[in-house]
Amino acid sequence: ADQHTQISQYRGVVTLNNGVTMPLLGLGTFRLRGLQNIIKAVDTALANGYRSFDTARVYRNEADLGCALRQLLPLYGLTRSDIFITTREACLQSLEELGCEYLDLYLIHWPGRQGWKSDDTRNAEARKEAWNAIEDLYKAGVIRAIGVSNYTESHLEQLLTYCSVRPAVLQVEFHPQLPQTHLLRWCQENGVHLQAYSSLGCGELLGKEEVKKVASTHKKTPSQVLLRWALDQGVGVIPKSCDPDRIKDNFCVWDFKLSEEEMQAMSVNEHQQKFCWDPTGVA
């Protein structure tokens, strides 16, 4: 039996294009620092049903996250194969820091090379080299699924011309003020799972009238309806928080659905707004 069947019994999952099962909702750990804070956050997450954790080498918390998981998993009767870990950047160092033998999902974080100008045409060649390197790790069984983050449609089209393993996941900023309709359609047509970061628009969307109105209709919080807005489109989410109440609230999104009208009302806006980085200028 597949040691990873446990995740497929978990609430709210997606099967990626290579057959790997991934939870649709995970805990983002950006800006989560300090072992005690991480233990508290992971403990709350596991207690409330989270089985997916999103980190990165650049977050400088992988060692503490690994330590927290080793300490807490046995207390919940769980093992490494019950959870899903996503990271980026230096794969082998990440494995060492996390204390894992494999990663569930590895993402190329950005379509450009650090220190290079966006319009530097060498970026395309650097992307190709990076993809070839992670394909090797994937084929060696060190990573169970591979993907990219912050790629535009043209970056993805380029990738499909040379990859021997198609990307399983694209992680981008995605929320009602940046609905990325074309990109979502491209992903659906090409068998790539879209995963959202900044689902709450860096907190800016929580106070929007349309969002608050839909939240009160469902007796939910604004953050819960913003997460549901993505989930109802088949898009995964990784809300980040170190607050136990918020971590708990963010997982209570499985008992309601938004209507088409509510989804549209939330995304009616005369201007699209990006709260994070803009990859559109990267050559």
Is 193 marked as binding a ligand?
Answer: no
- What tokens does 114 get? 């650090």
| The Cα angle at residue 163 between residues 159 and 164, in degrees rounded to 5 | 160
Tokens 């194969």, residue located: 81
Selection from 178, 157, 179 nearest residue 167 by Cα? 157
Give yes or no: 102 in active site. no
Contact 251, 49 (CB under 8 A): yes
- The CA–CA distances, whole Å, from 103 to 79, 100, 167 equal 14, 7, 15
| Alpha carbon of residue 20 to chain centroid | 15
Query: How many whole angstroms separate alpha carbon 236 and alpha carbon 196?
Result: 6
Query: How many whole angstroms separate alpha carbon 171 and alpha carbon 96?
Result: 24
Catalytic residue among 10, 50, 59, 197: 59
Active site residues: 59
Binding site listing? 109
Binding site listing for substrate? 109
